[in-house]
Amino acid sequence: MTFITDKEELKPGLIIFRRGDVVHHRNWYCRIKLPQADRYKTYSLKTSDTHAAREHAFDYDADLRFRIKHDVPVFNRPFREVGKEYLALQEERANRGEISASRVKKLRAVIEGALERYTGSRQVHLIGNELWDGYPAWRRENGAGRNKRNGVREVSAELEQQLATQESTARVKALQSRGIRRGKSLTAQLAASQEGATVAFISDSTIRFEMSIFGSDAHSRHFTGNRAE
């Protein structure tokens, strides 16, 4: 069965068509070729009227070109999907000897571990600064890491309260941006009512490394949703 039927080219790189595998309606679709790339974006026009379909197709074409011009994500994709694509590229680099296999293993542990738990199925283009600023507080509260590497930190009651106040504020903002009203208290994680109490912690360098995977310039294209649908 032919997938594309009733094809009509509106202009180079822009067509409307019906799907041969859809039998319960006769609605139109449009397909737009991305400039200077062998890739396409397809939209359901949600109408069986040919005249309306043409108008909608031109609207989508204009919107797509605006997005490209202003570096707005064209494809909405969840973080985990983009993470898998990024890891596949790193495995290819390891196979070529550009990076070590241990580097890929470390990246996989972070992307499929802490970053996956924090972002979940959230679309990458919705992960903004407000959500990301709350990551350090969330990370310290939700994972102690390996104590052999990160060790323990001695905190006084005064320092404990200071840390709790600073990080709880950031965490509340992060939870709100994720649509969560309340969560486990950070002070429970840092429970140290006596001076000199000892708590496990995630090192600052570990958190910086994890955040750099998401936000570094070299990787930004992989985490903006602009690569593939």
| Judgement on whether residues 64 and 85 belong to the same structural domain of the protein | no
| Judgement on whether residues 58 and 83 belong to the same structural domain of the protein | no
The Cα–Cα gap between 135 and 117 comes to 11
- CB contact at 8 A, 92 and 104: no
| Judgement on whether residues 34 and 146 belong to the same structural domain of the protein | no
Q: Which of 69, 92, 124 is the last residue of a domain?
A: 69
Listed residue (64, 48, 52) closest to 14, CA to CA: 64
Dihedral of CA atoms 222, 223, 228, 229 in degrees, nearest 10, equals 160
Domain annotation covers residue 229: no
The Cα–Cα gap between 87 and 136 comes to 23
**What is the residue range of 95's domain?**
79-223
- CB contact at 8 A, 54 and 10: yes
User: Within 10 Å of residue 145's Cβ, how many Cβ atoms?
Assistant: 17
Q: How many domains does the chain have?
A: 2
pLDDT in tens for each of the 229 residues of the chain? Answer: 578 899 999 999 999 999 988 888 999 999 999 888 777 889 999 999 999 999 999 999 999 999 888 877 777 778 888 888 888 888 988 998 989 999 999 999 999 988 888 886 777 766 777 788 888 888 888 765 444 444 444 445 565 566 666 666 766 666 666 565 554 444 444 444 444 444 456 788 888 888 888 654 333 434 433 333 3
- CB contact at 8 A, 225 and 72: no
Q: Which two three-digit tokens encode residue 52?
A: 């309306």
Q: Which two three-digit tokens encode residue 56?
A: 């909608």
| Judgement on whether residues 87 and 57 belong to the same structural domain of the protein | no
| Judgement on whether residues 109 and 218 belong to the same structural domain of the protein | yes
Q: Is residue 125 left, alpha or beta, with left meaning phi > 0 and alpha meaning psi from -120 to 50? A: alpha
Q: How far does CA 177 lie from the centroid of its chain?
A: 14
